[in-house]
């Protein structure tokens, strides 16, 4: 019997013998907290203490992928310095398998595009100090319909993934026969837990059944939106849809507004800075979606901004919220460890520049606190210290991002 179970027993017995109300309520408290621990630990894979960081093939390559792209991407993630910044997962999305399983029921890597197999790819990616992710679907076929899904094959596929050395599974929701994700996803959670290898579990049911309400028991992240496109409107609307679930994000389980489009060419530099800043402050998975083998210096400056990444990876793990909205102006803020606060001043309008002021009362800083402000995109600590509020003038479709640190 584990120590905590012994303790529960002792307390229950003590309550019975002495009839003491306080011992009884103490025993109830311990039992309840054991229950909480049990519920929290249904997904006891120990992963996702901070939002996952890495790359995924879908946004840039769609179905046109092969093992060479994956290997070269792993090389580039290391050679560009992205790996050192924390990007570790190299995730293969849809279209990596043959349409038919083999006669033993195994998923078969597509011979024309992944001739060496996934195990060899995992070995290669691991040899670079990175991790390999893969994709399947809680339905009969994946969304592309070009490969099978895992519905009815969960145990088998989870074991296959573990035997290949897979570290991350994105699990999609297409062609599911109409049953609820809350029925289909737990089967894969259990299968992964029994597969003998910690595998980050990314639920991708697009926010259909409000997965923030149940996702933490089943996975390490859950999509809150439909697919992102490489446009300003698509990007900010994913951010909005994701924001309403802020209270549900915490270490071990994160809201996922979909993967990054930075570097794919559909937005301006300022818009991509807004994109990366909102994803970071929202504790979203930072999954790069461009071709990192051929990215520009500008793209690297954005996805490689260590100060912004540090906000995303802060150990407190609290997702920022919109704390004020006035017309085109928005203020997003969230606490960080060591009494710091991350703030984003956002101009959503497309034509005017505005001065934007964040008030301490809005962003949760005690009124008389004096802070130092670090501008995360200028990489400068402002000379002036601030008390009560901070103001900046912000261009259209642009933002300013600060970390505010109380001055002793």
Q: Which residues bind ligand GLA (CB under 6 A)?
A: 58, 93-94, 142-144, 172, 204, 206, 227
Q: How far is CA 141 from the centre of its chain?
A: 24
Closer residue to ligand GLA, CB minimum distance, 94 or 167: 94
Label residue 223 left, alpha or beta by phi (over 0 means left) and psi (-120 to 50 means alpha): beta
- Dig out the tokens for 145 from the structure: 């319909």
Specify whether 258 is catalytic.
no
Closer residue to ligand GLA, CB minimum distance, 143 or 342: 143
> What are the start-end ranges of the H helices in 178-305?
181-193, 215-218, 232-243, 269-281, 297-303
Shortest separation between residue 108's beta carbon and ligand GLA, angstroms: 18
Shortest separation between residue 380's beta carbon and ligand GLA, angstroms: 37
Which string of DSSP letters, residue by residue, matches 91-103? E--S--B-SS--T
**Residues 6 or more apart from 242 whose CB is under 8 A from it?**
224, 225, 255, 256, 257, 282, 284
The Cα–Cα gap between 158 and 138 comes to 12
Catalytic residue among 123, 227, 240, 375: 227
Closer residue to ligand GLA, CB minimum distance, 149 or 304: 149
**Residues 6 or more apart from 180 whose CB is under 8 A from it?**
209
Closer residue to ligand GLA, CB minimum distance, 169 or 273: 169
Closer residue to ligand GLA, CB minimum distance, 58 or 164: 58
Catalytic residue among 93, 94, 172, 256: 172
Specify whether 103 is catalytic.
no
Which secondary structure element, helix H or strand E, spans residue 142, and what is its range? Answer: none
Task: Give catalytic residue positions.
Answer: 172, 227
């Amino acid at each position: 019997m584990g120590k905590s179970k012994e303790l529960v027993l002792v307390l229950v017995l003590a309550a019975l013998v002495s009839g003491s109300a306080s011992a009884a309520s103490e025993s109830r408290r311990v039992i309840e907290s054991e229950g909480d621990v049990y519920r929290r630990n249904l997904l006891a894979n120990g992963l996702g203490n901070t939002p996952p960081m890495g790359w995924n093939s879908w946004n840039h390559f769609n179905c046109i992928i092969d093992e060479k792209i994956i290997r070269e991407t792993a090389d580039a993630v290391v050679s560009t310095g992205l790996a050192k910044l924390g990007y570790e997962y190299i995730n293969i999305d849809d279209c990596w398998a043959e349409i038919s399983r083999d006669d033993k029921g195994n998923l078969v890597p597509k011979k024309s595009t992944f001739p060496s197999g996934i195990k060899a790819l995992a070995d290669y990616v691991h040899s670079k100090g990175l991790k390999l992710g893969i994709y399947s679907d809680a339905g009969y076929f994946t969304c592309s319909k070009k490969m099978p899904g895992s519905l009815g094959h969960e145990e088998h596929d989870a074991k296959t993934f573990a035997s290949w050395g897979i570290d991350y599974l994105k699990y999609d929701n297409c062609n599911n026969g109409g049953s609820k994700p809350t029925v289909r996803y737990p089967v894969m959670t259990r299968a992964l837990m029994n597969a003998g290898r910690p595998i980050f579990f990314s639920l991708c049911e697009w926010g259909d059944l409000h997965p923030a309400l149940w996702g933490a028991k089943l996975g390490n992240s859950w999509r809150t939106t439909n697919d992102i496109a490489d446009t300003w409107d698509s990007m900010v609307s994913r951010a909005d849809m994701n924001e309403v679930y802020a209270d549900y994000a915490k270490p071990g389980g994160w809201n996922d507004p979909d993967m990054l489009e930075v570097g794919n060419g559909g937005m301006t530099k300022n818009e991509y800075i807004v994109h990366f800043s909102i994803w970071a402050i929202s504790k979203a998975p930072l999954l790069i979606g461009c071709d990192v083998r051929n990215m520009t210096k500008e793209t690297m400056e954005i996805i490689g901004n260590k100060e912004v990444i540090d906000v995303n990876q802060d150990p407190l793990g609290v997702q920022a919220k919109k704390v004020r909205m006035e017309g085109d102006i928005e203020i997003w803020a969230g606490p960080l460890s060591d009494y710091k606060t991350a703030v984003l001043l956002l101009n959503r309008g497309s034509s005017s520049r505005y001065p934007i002021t964040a008030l301490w009362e809005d962003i949760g800083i005690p009124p008389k606190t004096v802070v130092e402000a670090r501008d995360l995109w200028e990489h400068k600590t402002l000379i002036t210290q601030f008390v009560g509020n901070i103001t900046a003038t912000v261009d259209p479709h642009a933002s300013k991002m600060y970390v505010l640190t109380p001055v002793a």
